Amino acid sequence: MSEPRSAPTVGQVVLGRRLQDLREGAGLKREEAARVLRVAPATVRR
Confidence of residue 1 (pLDDT cuts 50, 70, 90): low
Domain borders along the chain are 10-45
**Is the separation of the CB atoms in 16 and 7 below 8 Å?**
no
pLDDT, tens digit, 9 for 90 and up, residues 15-36: 999 999 999 999 999 999 999 9
- The pTM for the full model equals 0.73
